[in-house]
Amino acid sequence: MAKKKVAYDEQAIQTLDALEHIRLRTGMYIGRLGDGSHALDGIYVMLKEVVDNSVDEFIMGEGKRIEIKRDDAQVTIRDYGRGIPLGKVVECVSQINTGGKYNDDVFQFSVGLNGVGTKAVNALSSDFEVTSWRDGRYVRASFQRGRLLNQKKGKEAGAANGTEISFTPDLEIFDRYEWNEEFIAHRLKYYAYLNGGLKLSYNGQSFQSKQGLADLLGDELGEDPPLYDIVHCQDEKFEFAFTHTNNYGETYYSFVNGQYTNDGGTHQSAFREGLLKGVNEFAKKNFAGEDVRDGIIGAVAVKLQDPVFESQTKNKLGSTEVRSWIVPAVKDQVVRWLHENEKVAKQVLEKVANNERLRKELANIKKDARERAKKVAIRIPKLTDCKVHFDDTKGDRREESSIFLSEGDSAAGVIVPSRDVFTQAIFSLRGKPLNCLGLKRDAIYKNEELYNLMRALGIEESIDGLRYNKVILATDADVDGMHIRNLLLTFFLHFFEPLVEKGHVYILETPLFRVRNKKTTRYCYSDRERDEALGEIKAAEITRFKGLGEISPKEFGQFIGEGMRLQSVSVGRHSEILKTLEFFMGKNTPARRDFIVENLLTDVA
């Protein structure tokens, strides 16, 4: 049947006010919505936007402490800075492009330069309240979903200057969410590392730092000893720290004006280049960048007056001019440090030489793997690709692209006819993947299944070639499915940790039960949801899905469409990764068995 044509005339043109636009196009302002299960989810961005303003006060020399409290879903942030000018309190939290951060004399090194942050928080909160105290007077304003409810002015003798903001993320926007204490604490630690002298408190916890980025790396490394003491250099507008470990790949933590840039950017690239130039100048060699940097863990922070970010959520710096001064600054500091630390310099060069040797050995193994793959098939076996990768007209949808790693052909047979052919690809696994724990990098190139998986993802040479924005583990909700999921996570975390750190790896949640009668059908993801459905749907029949292959393609399409439930895989401290993998995938069967027995849940929430 032909689609009914809709007239494109004056009636089709809509004008939204700023509040409506924020609520309708939330992703433009806070990125992903999420449910609080990932550190980059929207509720944490909302918290960051408010705390950023308080940190900006500290940077300008006003207020040395910030108090954060959480009571259920509501979060309150109190600083002791200058306080929002009383005559502009309402405008500063509700009118786009209103604020003092356009004035370089008032805010020199601020993240929030677009006048959007607290306005977005206000618009996306069911309840929002702001109070500003200045010289014994105050203004308090309350909002509901961005609309002003009331405003009160008065005197409060003895009240310290500053601003307090309380907000509750709106369930109309987020549908469901839950705050994660670990994510909040982790974010507040970062603020402390980047702002020496600032004290942050949160529900009884206190966060301060003396050694800045060196403390950050020390905390991430935990009890895992680096190959040499952390190198730490700092001046007024620039700071960096680094060391090498025995891990694979490169791990970085980068910041601009105190903002964690999860996707790096020009400052991180310049730091990497400066480090390479410094080592080569000292060694009088021409080492490859991957040989110098493999196994490195580093951090870099810069202060810029007018930073340019690639999105409102400020995850990646786009300012190109920083390279001209960061590269030589890092190079000079590294050369000086190597000359001043002869013993450690020798360790660094030994590490680089060893990396070079291993890379050359691996190059031959990669060559053999490529030739072996060509003999088997021209195309990648078991990969059903999506059209964004061979249709240039769909290039604008690359951010939407995803690949499902399915458990066998039966599961793939359900996903293929249900998917969006433009953005969703499928790679069908054959049996259980290799357990990569403790293996060296050559093992994954010798293993046909894992090599084909790397080819499908585009990471056989470098993770920079990742072809899909989301890598989704789609395994059955049973013991075998959980084992395959853990094997895949071990593979990614052991050899391609940045894919997880940057939020590319997800787990697909699919229903365990279908409860229905002649009029109603409900899909349930836990025993609790099943029991609730049985209490509401009379004369119902229950179907227990043992695997994805038992769900018809027609049914399955709704589970990978707009309402798709994804659980993002995130990493806590860097040092905890190996311990966690060794516990779940290592040779500690009795301890792991006891853990499973002690933590077995009869009712999965």
List the chain domain ranges.
19-203, 213-356, 377-510+545-599
3-state secondary structure 295-334: CEEEEEEECCCCCCECCCCCCCECCHHHHHHHHHHHHHHH
Please state, in angstroms and rounded to a whole number, the distance separating the CA atoms of residues 605 and 593: 22
Digit-coded pLDDT (tens) for 317-333: 888 899 999 999 999 99
Q: Token pair 């990969």 is at which residue? A: 383
**Which contiguous run of DSSP H or E holds residue 498?**
helix 497-501
Query: Which of 271-285, 572-586, 591-605 is most confident?
Result: 271-285
pLDDT at 591 over 90: no
Q: List beta partners, residue 230.
A: none
Stated pTM of the model: 0.75
- Average pLDDT value for residue range 109-121: 64
> Residues for the chain: how many in total?
605
User: Does residue 207 sit in helix, strand or coil?
Assistant: strand
Q: Token pair 């863990």 is at which residue? A: 297
Contact 278, 298 (CB under 8 A): no
E-only strand ranges, 394-484: 402-407, 424-429, 470-474
Digit-coded pLDDT (tens) for 7-63: 655 555 555 567 778 888 787 778 778 888 888 888 998 999 899 889 989 888 888
Contact 115, 99 (CB under 8 A): yes
User: Does residue 473 sit in helix, strand or coil?
Assistant: strand
Tokens of 535: 């209490």
User: Does residue 168 sit in helix, strand or coil?
Assistant: strand
Q: What is the pLDDT of residue 456?
A: 94
Per-residue burial over 524-536, b = 16 or more CB atoms within 10 Å of its CB, e = otherwise: bbbeebbeebeee
pLDDT at 248 over 60: yes
Q: What is the pLDDT of residue 16?
A: 56
Contact 317, 259 (CB under 8 A): no
Please state, in angstroms and rounded to a whole number, the distance separating the CA atoms of residues 511 and 508: 10
477 Cβ partners below 8 Å, 6+ apart? Answer: 510, 512, 545, 547
Return mean pLDDT, the chain: 85
- Average pLDDT value for residue range 566-594: 73
Please state, in angstroms and rounded to a whole number, the distance separating the CA atoms of residues 338 and 152: 61
Digit-coded pLDDT (tens) for 473-526: 999 888 888 889 989 999 998 899 888 888 899 999 888 899 999 889 999 988
Please state, in angstroms and rounded to a whole number, the distance separating the CA atoms of residues 481 and 406: 10
**Which contiguous run of DSSP H or E holds residue 541?**
strand 541-544
Please state, in angstroms and rounded to a whole number, the distance separating the CA atoms of residues 111 and 255: 10
Domain 377-510+545-599 falls under CATH 3.30.300.30: no
Q: In Å, what is the CA distance from 544 to each residue of 114, 298, 540?
A: 50, 48, 13
Q: What is the pLDDT of residue 103?
A: 44
Half-sphere exposure of 19 (CA within 13 A, CB side): 14
User: Which has the closest alpha carbon to 53: 78, 25, 34?
Assistant: 78
- Average pLDDT value for residue range 180-198: 90
- What one-character-per-residue DSSP string does 544-558 give? E--SGGGS-HHHHGG
Digit-coded pLDDT (tens) for 48-80: 989 988 998 988 888 899 999 999 999 999 999
Please state, in angstroms and rounded to a whole number, the distance separating the CA atoms of residues 119 and 96: 7
∠267-38-212 over CA atoms, to 5°?
A: 40
Digit-coded pLDDT (tens) for 103-114: 444 444 554 444
Q: What is the pLDDT of residue 102?
A: 41
∠563-315-305 over CA atoms, to 5°?
A: 150
Q: Which CATH number fits domain 19-203: 3.30.565.10, 3.30.1330.30, 3.40.50.620, 3.40.50.150?
A: 3.30.565.10
Digit-coded pLDDT (tens) for 141-159: 999 998 999 999 999 888 9
Level-2 CATH architecture, domain 213-356: 2-Layer Sandwich (3.30)
Phi and psi at residue 252, to the nearest 5° = -130, 150
Q: If you count DSSP H runs as helices and E runs as strands, how many of each does the chain have, helices first?
A: 21, 22
Tokens of 25: 């196009």
Tokens of 593: 């068995």
Whole-number percent of the chain with pLDDT over 70 = 88
Q: What is the pLDDT of residue 311?
A: 66
| 401: number of Cβ within 10 Å | 22
